[in-house]
Every structure is written in C-alpha cells, then in structure tokens.
Structure 1
Amino acid sequence: MHLLKKPWIIAVGVIPALVIYLIFSIVPIFISFYYSTMSWDGFSDMQFVGLANFQEVLQDKVFWLSVRNNILVVLASVFGQIPIALALALLLNRKIKGAKFFRTIGFMPVVISTVVISITWRMIYNSEYGMINNFLEAIGLGALQQNWLGDPTWAMVAVCITIIWQFVGLYFIIFLSALQTVPSEILEAADLDGASEWQKTIHIVLPSIWNIILISVVLCISGSLKTFDLIFVMTSGGPASSTEVMATYMYDKTFEGLRYGYGSAISVLIFVFSIALILITTKLLRRKEV
C-alpha cells in the first residue's frame, strides 16, 4: 500500500514510457535538424550545405502558400471546433432526454479512421453525384452547385468544414467532463441570488473551466499545424496547391521529390512555427484569467 510512496518504484513505471517518448518523439526532432543541413536524395552520400535548405524554403512561394493554408486551418479549427464544442457541452450538460445518445453520436467522428472520413466527405463533395450538389438541385438551388474540391476558391473551405466536423466531438467530450467539475453549490447559490443562465455561464462556468479551454486551444493549434492525412486523401494538396499545407508539402518534397534535406528543413520550420504560435496564444489567453 505504501509502495507508491517510494520514488524508485514510481521511476520504474515512468522511465519505460519516457524512453519510448524520447526515441519516437524527441530524437527524430534532432535528426531532422541534422538532415536539414544536408543535401541528400536517400541514396547517394550526404553533402553538408549549412542553411542553404532554409534559404531556399523561405524563398519558395508554394511553401508560403502552404503556411497561409495552415493558418486558415488553425483559424477554422480554433474558431470552429472550440465554440461549437463548448456550446454543445453546455447544452448537453443539462438533464435532457437523449443526452447520452447525442454524446455518443458527437464523439463518433473522432474514433472513425481519418481515411474513411476523407473518402466519405470526398464523395459528399463530388461534383457529379455528391450529396451536396444533389441536395441543392433537389430544392431548386442548382445554380449554387460547385466543383467543391476541384475549384481553388472552394477547396480549402470544403476541407476546413470537414476538419471542424471531425474533431468537434473531441473537444465536446473534454468540455463536458470539465463542466462536471464545476461546484454545484456555487450554481445553486447563484440561482438563489436570481442569476440568469447566461450570467451563470459567463461569470461562473467559463471562469471555472478556463484552464481546460486554454489547453484545448493549444491542442487544437498543435493538431491543426500537423494536419496531413485528411488533406492528403481528399485533395493531395490540389487543385493548384490551393489546399497545400506544410505537412503535405514536406511529404511531397521529401518522399516524392527525394529531397530529404529540404523536407527536413520544412519539418523544422513546422516545429518552430508550432512552438511560437502556441507560446503566443498561451500568453494572450492567460492575460484574460482572473
């Protein structure tokens, strides 16, 4: 019973997980830093080129287009997933009929394979037999039909909608769990004082779970910056690189272009952008804590 109080026993439990994390998460970051200074096609000998890869990446117009698209994904995720998930959590935190059913349905997209989701939504967006265009035609709005994934104007919008739909359930469950920790005594006292539901939500509920909201925003940003599989399956970065993000561009240059040094430079920049954006966001949101 007192074994867990001994530090060496805790270390035995933590060290294996820490070693695995170091091998598969931390070490590859340093390897990418090393490769980013090299010119290598995966077959011939490596050649040291210093910062030449970074200089080329920073002058690459397609790379900056991928950065812009990544920012759009981040904005769509943060301002789409977080508010929708929070609203659903506040709604289903009440004792309403069928709440458990809606909770299950809301979380289902999270556990479904991203490849399955990508193929399904690609079919929904299909310009010939897709559900959206068929629905618009059925209600007499055929003029609004689009080639959703084939038009550079709409492709990124379509992808962002899919990303929002896929991960709303994750933050919905996180917020729902956080709402369970809000002290009921405080809410009851607010009821006795005549506080409205809106006032309780703004002045009691949200401040109580603010740290959870902050963590969710950080998770949302980090996940959005490494978005790859959904976009790769749905559009492969097209048309005309209109849905290219940093991860898909890195894959294209590394494995299809056989430029491992150049691809590693892109991965390093993804890492740097991620850390910078998360630090800035955390600092801005913490200022609002009271």
Structure 2
Amino acid sequence: MQIFFRRKSLIIAGLTPLLSVFTLFVIVPIAGSFYFSFFSWDGFSPRQWVGLDNYAKLIQDSIFWNSIKNNLYFVGFSIFFEIPLGLYLAIVLNGKIIRRSGIFKTVFFMPVVIPTVVLALITNMVLNYQIGLVNTLLRQVGLGDWARNWLGDPQFSILLLCFIVVWQYTGLFMVIFLAALQNVPDEVLEAAEMDGCTGMKRTRLITVPMITDTILASMVLCISGALRTFELIYATTNGGPNNATDVAATYMFNQTFVSMKYGYGNAIAFFTLLISLLLILASYVFFRKR
C-alpha cells in the first residue's frame, strides 16, 4: 500500500491515456446512444423528444425479440461447442506426442484469421442453390431431393450460420486454453502422476480445475462476441429470409441506416447492451458458485 501511494502519480500518469481513449471511444458513444434513444429522429430533421416511447415500442417488437433469440442461439453454440472443442484441441496439442508440432496449431487457428467478409463469400458459394458445392455433391450422388436453398430456408439458415461461427472461432479458444495449460506447473502434474492420477483422470481432476479462471473468461468472451455478431449475417443473408436470421446488430443497423430511425436504433443498441451485461453477470455468478 505504501508503494502505491509513493508511486500514485506515476500510476495515474500511466493510466490516464488509456482511460482517456476508453472514455472517448466507449463511454461517450454509450452515453450518446442512451441520450438519443429518447428521441424520434431520422438523422436530418430536428429531433423530437418522445421519452420512453422507443423502449415501449421495442418491448412489443416481435422482430427484435426474434433477433435476440437468434443471438442466444449463437451464445449457446459458442458455449457448448467452441469452448469444449477448443479445450479438447488444446489438451491434445499440449500432449507429449504432438506438443512441438506447430503445423496443427496453424491449421486449427487458420479460420480465425480469415476475414469474416471473405468467409461469408465462401459460405454463399458453397451453399448456393444452383452451383453450390453442397448441392452439387448431393446431385452427383443421387440425393438431389435433399438439395435446397440452405441460407434461404428458415429451418436451416440460422443453425448453419451458428456452425460456421463455431468453426471460425474454435481455434481462438484453442490458443487461449493452450497458453493456460502451458502455465500449469509441471511439479503439480508430476505429483499427481506419482499418486497414480494419470491420463484423463489427471486432466479432469487437476488440469481443468487449475484453468477455471481462463474458462470463465472465455465464456465471457463467447457471450459478448455472440451478441455482437454482425458481419457474417450481414454479408450472407442480411437477416433474411423474412427476418429469420436477424440478430440484434443487423436489426439495429437496418432500423438506423436503412429505415432512418436513429432514435429507435439507439434504443435497440442500448437495450442489447443491457441484455449483454445481464447475461455476462449471470454466467459469471453461476460459474463462480459452481
């Protein structure tokens, strides 16, 4: 504590630039979004104060709640697929057999570095009804009746996009977990092995509990990332067909910049932020208790 007070001025001087940037690019836009959400405004004409009307309309907006439901699909797929798969790959790559082989790490991490717009273009080409790879293969093997407009079918489109996101970001969590596993002290693992705790038993009882904080942080990243999903949806389906793949970000974008309802779009953005914070807080409390 004495060291803190002696060096308080240096600490403040070091934090001030970062806090200033954070305030300018995060806090101020959030406050501005909250302020403009109380107006009816098209971005050009004078603003009209409407109070809580935008939020009242939002609560009754079935399309908005459908977009939140789609976001929850992404949250669920991220938590129950990306984290387990990333952890499994990290454990395998941290093993003695392929621990020093960088080719596997590169292959599994490659989808993360592919720009989302490029991934969306590839997705459109692969799933295209007429010339897409999937339908072409189905027709070649005599299963032409199974061919369909995958991204245009409300029954499959959102699930396919969820799996694409899982494929894209599993490598990211693999790297995070791999770094955490490599920081587990070898002495602890050797002691467990001497006590007869080896293989999956050691992984389950020793290794995984020691990286619980990393798993929890990864879940927070999953939730926040899933609720910010935008580029893939916008570049593939733009929320279609008939709003079946709309998420909060695409719905907010279309209401703000297509329908020119700036006040309503800001209400969507702020309300989505509140939902994100509540989900993150709930997951944090739940897994801390567990």
Question: TM-score scaled by structure 2?
Answer: 0.94
Q: 1:46 to 1:75 in 2, by over 3 A?
A: same
- Alignment pair present for 1:21 and 2:22: yes
Task: Describe how 1:1-290 pairs up with structure 2 within 5 A.
Answer: 6-97=7-98, 99-288=101-290
**Which shows bigger deviation, 122-131 or 20-29?**
122-131
| 2-structure distance, mates of 1:18, 1:111 | 29
Deviations 1:157-179 (A, max 9, x none): 11101111111111110000000
**Which shows bigger deviation, 84-93 or 127-136?**
127-136
Q: Which runs of 5+ in 1 are unaligned?
A: none
For the aligned residues, what is the CA RMSD?
1.6
| 2-structure distance, mates of 1:279, 1:167 | 22
| 2-structure distance, mates of 1:138, 1:91 | 36
Shift of 1:139: 4.2
Shift of 1:21: 1.1
Q: Which amino acid aligns with 2:102?
A: K
Q: Which amino acid aligns with 2:92?
A: L
Q: Which amino acid aligns with 2:174?
A: F
| 1-structure distance, mates of 2:134, 2:13 | 55
Deviations 1:83-125 (A, max 9, x none): 1101100111113347311111222222221111111112111
Question: Which secondary structure does the structure 1 equivalent of 2:156 belong to?
Answer: helix
Equivalent residues, number: 285
Shift of 1:138: 3.9
| 1-structure distance, mates of 2:130, 2:109 | 30
| 1-structure distance, mates of 2:56, 2:33 | 16
Q: Which amino acid aligns with 1:252?
A: N
Deviations 1:56-92 (A, max 9, x none): 1111111111111111111111111111101100111
| 2-structure distance, mates of 1:175, 1:140 | 43
Deviations 1:3-57 (A, max 9, x none): xx84333333321121111111111111011000001000111111000000011
Shift of 1:133: 2.1
Identity of aligned residues (%): 45
